[in-house]
Every structure is written in structure tokens, then in C-alpha cells.
Amino acid sequence: MAGHFAPFTALAERLLPLSSPAGNDGSHDEGHILRVWRNAAAIQAGEGGDPRLIAAAVLLHDCVAVEKTSPQRAQASKLAAERAETILLAEGWSAADRAAVAHAVHAHSFSARVPIESLEAAIVQDADRLDAIGLIGVARCFYVAGRTGGGLFHPLDPMAEHRPLDDHAFALDHFETKLLRLADTFQTATGRRMAQRRTEALRQFRDAILSEI
């Protein structure tokens, strides 16, 4: 796996064992980290930024796990940022670089709502959000719903025309409450272009599944 993080293979070899907390969350596994890295590398190629800081932030952005159903969910990225600083201190990173990575880790989270203060943080946030939309976002959305006890969609009113949206109960509701709106939150021009394409894929999937049900 580490070889896919070139030119930061050595860094990935050291950080990957610390990057995914123990557990069975297949939506936040090493595959997720690799996809976020590929997204981040594509955005960085168009936007600039320090790729070393971006790589470390991507590798450590989910290094503390808090379940989506937990009341502490909004604290997950703060806890991950604190752990990332500790890990990078042991790696011998400077205080400035540790702080830059910690900020990117803290700010990547949708629920934390931390203002972006650097290009690197903007890239990491965009890269992570790209993995929540498009067809991989569809797969992750339904996976999380099943894992947390949610249903696919309301059997009689899938588009919530006569009921409140409830994305804890129904995966398809999450399209309307969050996923289809994410493109408006992207920080970089490159990320926004990528998000628009993936959002269109989300809409096409939603329309197709509605036509079937």
C-alpha cells in the first residue's frame, strides 16, 4: 500500500500503521486514505501547495475513530489533529510543520466547521469530500447506512415530499441533506471542477433509483 503514496513512500510506510484506527469501518479504511491521497495529488497538481504537508495530513486525517452515531462525532478531527501532532513530533518534524498538518487534519471535517487557513488544508478538505460524492460516495453512503442500522429509503415517500428528511433512518435522504450540497463547499477551483462531475453522477444515480422504485 505504501508504494502508492510515492514520492512519499517512506513516510507512508511509517504513518500508515498509525493512520487507520482499529475497527471494522470499511468507509474509513486504507482504501479511503489512498483515494483521498489520489484526489489530493490531483488537486495539488493544479493548485500548488506543499505536497509533503498534504501527504502527512491525508495519512493521518482519520487516525482517531469516532462513530458517526456518537455525540462526540464533531470532535473526531480535533482528536485526530492532536494525535497527528504527537506522531509527527516523534518523527522529528518542526513545530511549524506539525501545526500545519494538525490544522489540515482538524479542518478537513464537515462537522467540525473549522475555518480554512492554508492552501494545504483546503486541498485535504476538498480531497476528503470528493470521496463522499460520485459513485464511490454512493457506495459509502449505503454502506454506512447498513452499518449503523439505517434503511435504503422510505418505501412510500423516498423523496420526502410529505415528511421531514431523516438521513439517520434512510440512506437516500442523505443525498438531499448533504451529498448533493457538498460541491458548494469546495475550497479550490480544481476541487470544485472535480466535485461538479461527481455531483452529476450522484444526481444520475438518484434519478435512476427513483425510476426503479
CATH 3.40.1010.20 fits 132-213, yes or no: no
Give the chain's mean pLDDT: 93
Amino acid identity of residue 196, one-letter, is Q
In this structure, is the dihedral angle defined by the CA atoms of residues 117, 123, 124 and 128, taken in order, positive or negative?
Answer: positive
C-alpha cell, 179: 451529498
| pLDDT tens sequence across 178-207 | 999 999 999 999 999 999 999 999 999 999
> Binning pLDDT at 50, 70 and 90, where does residue 76 land?
confident
Instruction: Count other C-beta atoms under 10 Å from residue 144's C-beta.
Output: 20
> Binning pLDDT at 50, 70 and 90, where does residue 27 land?
confident
So where are the chain's domains?
1-117, 132-213
Assess contact for 39 and 127: CB atoms under 8 A.
yes
